[in-house]
Amino acid sequence: MAAGKFIAKGSFIVFEGIDGAGKTTQMRLLAGVLESLGLTVLCTREPGGTGIGTRLRELLLDPACRDINRRTEAFLYAADRAQHINQIIKPALQRGDTVLCDRYLYSTLAYQGGGRGLDTDFLLRLNTLATGGLEPDVVVLLDLPAEEGIGRVLGHGLPDRLESEKTDFFRQVRRGYLEQAARRPGIFRVVQAGAPAGEVHRRVLTALEIKID
């Protein structure tokens, strides 16, 4: 087995994609391979599961906060991200762990920007402050048509008429992701995710230049 340029002690790998694209599934499969290469792997996700992050999330989900301003909401997500990075991601990278993270700031740009139409320049500036400029070595974008993602999440075939409103939203999110990938070809690797999980896993390994003998 041989690992390519992205994989090393202390490398930071992010999985992105619309709901149901297979991020959690593929991250677990990759973690197994990296562990077998002898790396210490830390799998984490946003929201990061820190105590403060949990409190922030309660606030974001509280029906009493329904009238939250979209910018306020973006600040709270950014605060959660700052906590996650400083409490979990940075210490792990400093220990030499290989960090796999399920969603990162690209989700904010795709969902709040592409999906909800919030100013992407504002989101980018806010999140650059929150992350202190910490970027992953590589972003694996699992690309899937919106209908297929929703079908997977719902556990059945294509969405019905009521669910198609959601489909439009996820189409916008997908476009938001693909635009980011086109702008940042240096760190994005787009993987076609509309195939059985084992096949997508092989595509992820190829995208990361990992060769299994």
Please, which of residues 129-158 interact with ligand ATP by CB under 6 A?
Answer: 152-153
153 binds, among ligand ATP, Mg ion, none (CB under 5 to 8 A by kind): ligand ATP
Binding test (CB under 6 A) with ligand ATP, winner from 7, 13, 14, 21:
21
Binding mask 12-41 for Mg ion (x = CB under 5 A): -----------xx-----------------
Binding test (CB under 6 A) with ligand ATP, winner from 25, 86, 87, 164:
25
CB of 15 to Mg ion, least distance (A): 9
Q: Is 38 exposed, middle or buried (0-12, 13-18, 19+ CB in 10 A)?
A: exposed
17 binds, among Mg ion, ligand ATP, none (CB under 5 to 8 A by kind): ligand ATP
Please, which of residues 62-101 interact with Mg ion by CB under 5 A?
Answer: none
Q: Which residues, at least 6 apart from 96, have a Cβ–Cβ distance to it below 8 Å?
A: 9, 10, 40
Residue 23 binds ligand ATP, judged by CB under 6 A: yes
Sheet holding 41-45, edge to edge: 41-45, 98-102, 12-16, 138-143, 188-192
113 binds, among Mg ion, ligand ATP, none (CB under 5 to 8 A by kind): none
Alpha helices in the chain (DSSP H): 23-36, 51-61, 70-84, 90-95, 105-108, 120-131, 146-154, 164-183, 197-207
The values of phi and psi at residue 124, to 5°, are: -65, -45
Residue 176 binds ligand ATP, judged by CB under 6 A: no
